[in-house]
Amino acid sequence: MKLLVFAHTPPPHHGQSYMVQLMLEGFGGDARQHAGNPPPAHGIECYHVNARFSRGLEDIGEFQGAKLFLIFFYCLQAVWLRLRHGVKVFYYVPAPGRRVALYRDWLVMLLCRPFFKTVILHWHAAGLAKWLETSTTIASRAATYRLFRPVDLSVVLSRYNVADAEKTVVPPHLRGQQRHSRSLPKF
């Protein structure tokens, strides 16, 4: 399986960026750096778009004009990798409940999602579902639901993230149902 990882690695160093770095290392790194080698043992070839929007921890979640340019630049990289290498699975880490980060997620989903057959969301930062319900408009909530649904797989490693995955990407008639799987579905 070819997996496009649209997420950043350190710096800045924090839990999410470090998790992405460890995951990439576990799957053998970016496949473009190992051209000609046999596929990794897990059968997952990662193609990494290092979508670093912040230079330091103080920049995270803050609006800066250059970030808008970076969104389009990183999305163009993702689409190029899709077309050039035949990557069909899009792996993305959604933002927590912050307006600027949510708008970034909207643009990424709007620009990249149509090119990928399969979407995987990894819920690392908690709080988006509660923030959508309590601190934003109905229009923002509806746009988020529309752009994030449906997904093929939501990765939730903590009970604190379950509500984000359920409210944001799981249709209401399926909420509360849990699927447990030890391996990724065949794509």
**185/146 Cα distance (integer angstroms):** 24
Sequence letter at residue 93: V
CA 110, chain centre distance (Å) = 13
In this predicted structure, what is the pLDDT of residue 184?
A: 45
Q: What is the pLDDT of residue 71?
A: 93
Judge whether residue 180 has pLDDT over 80. Answer: no
pLDDT tens-digit series, residues 21-80: 998 998 888 988 876 676 666 889 999 999 886 665 555 555 566 778 999 999 999 999
Q: Is the pTM of this model over 0.85?
A: no
Over range 90-111, report the average pLDDT.
90
Range name among 11-20, 48-57, 92-101, 164-173 with the lowest pLDDT average: 164-173
Return the pLDDT at 107: 94
Burial of 9 (0-12, 13-18, 19+ CB in 10 A): buried
- In angstroms, rounded to a whole number, what is the distance separating the alpha carbons of residues 17 and 21? 6
Confidence band (pLDDT; 50, 70, 90) for 13? low
Residue 127's pLDDT band, with cuts at 50, 70 and 90, is: confident
The larger pLDDT score, comparing residue 165 to residue 15, is at 165
Predicted local confidence at residue 76, as pLDDT: 98
DSSP H helical ranges for 27-148: 65-85, 99-112, 128-134, 138-148
